[in-house]
Amino acid sequence: MIVQRFLEWAATAPAAQRAEGAGALARAFLYSGLDTANRQAAEAALTLMLDDNCVDVRRSIAEALAPSLLAPHHIILALAHDSPEIAVPVLILSPALTDSELIDILPVRGEEEQSAIAARESLSPAVAAAIAEIGTPLACAVLARNPQAAITPRTSARLVERHGGEAIVRDALLDRSDLPIGERQKLLLKLAERLGHTAVMSFSLDEERVRRMTQDACERATLALIDEEPSAVRPLVMHLRRTGQLTTALVLRALLNGDLDFVEAAFSELTQVPLERVRRMLEDPRQAGFRALYNGAGFPQTAFAPFREALDAWADLRDCGVTGAAARRHVAERALSMADIEELGGAAELMKRMAADAARELAMDTLRAETQRRLVAA
């Protein structure tokens, strides 16, 4: 009876009052302990009000019912397919929507609705995967920013593949602690490629020069990942091998830089020799075992002497207390002394650059130390 009177009133009431009344009726349905007859009548009234032309009326119903699992399912589903301003709160909050319903909604709705689904609490792996597969860049960025979204490695890979070149997606993914290191490295490559393209188009730089600069930046960034996540060295090496990036130049750069864990993992991965055996061989590179290991890795013979000399140099420095830029400069210069410049080509240029970089860093360290000494003395 009460609900019947409400419907009679709503037929002539102004829009603002209808919206307020609709919200009150929805809350009464959920929380007022109506008897069965009035509860059924309230549900019927709310169903009829889904056809109200006033957006505010339908929004009031959506906002009242969205958080509750007790909301009538057919009403929630209708609201989820309504216009964005009505659907969004339902898509974000409603626990009544199933994974299959959310997945069905994704391809037929726009960016706002997709982003709302991506922002849901405790988003399941299935829905996250569907967003990664068909979502817009914004929806995928919202997904990546959602700390409660269950994003599997496969879903991460799809996000990187589809939208890794978009800054909003790339930045959101890089902020996730659970992003697999292989996908993190792919994003860095995409960023470097984009910067390289911008340099060519905007500053008319020589393409070959930009290519070398981009490759250098990619290799630096790849090795920097080890500092951020030391435990992920082996997964990173495996990813680099699968993608054809575990090159002589990269392993040599790691060696000259002192990233010996990476070098050991690279030799182990390329030769399938257990890591402990590899470590022992690299500790004494003058023995025949290292040459066999080196040959098994498939690196060129022209780089063998610089590799061996660099390993020897690090072994000599182990107990000397020399670290940092001074150590890297010493190792690079010793490796370069054993290099055939003409035959090594790019690898020799790499050793020269790394020796020069280390020398500059050492000079800066010396200058800072001297400045600090003078400030203290003053």
pLDDT digits (tens, 9 = 90+) for 116-144: 999 999 999 999 999 999 999 999 999 99
Q: Is 9's pLDDT higher than 60?
A: yes
Cα→Cα distances 335→164, 188, 259, 276, 310, Å: 37, 29, 15, 25, 5
CA distance linking residue 139 with residue 130, whole number of Å: 11
| Average pLDDT rounded to a whole number, residues 97-103 | 97
**Residue closest to 285 by CA, chosen among 301, 266, 305:** 305
pLDDT in tens, 267-296: 999 999 999 999 999 999 988 899 999 999
Q: Is the model's pLDDT at 99 over the cut of 90? A: yes
Summarised one tens digit per residue, pLDDT across range 11-52 is 778 889 999 999 999 999 999 888 888 889 899 999 999 999
pLDDT single digits (tens) 149-197: 999 999 999 999 999 999 999 999 999 999 999 999 999 888 887 776 6
pTM for this prediction: 0.79
Of the listed ranges 100-109, 125-134, 331-340, the least confidently predicted one is 331-340
- Contact partners, residue 338, CB within 8 Å, separation at least 6: 305, 306, 308, 309
Residue 208's pLDDT is: 67
Distance CA 232, CA 167 (A): 24
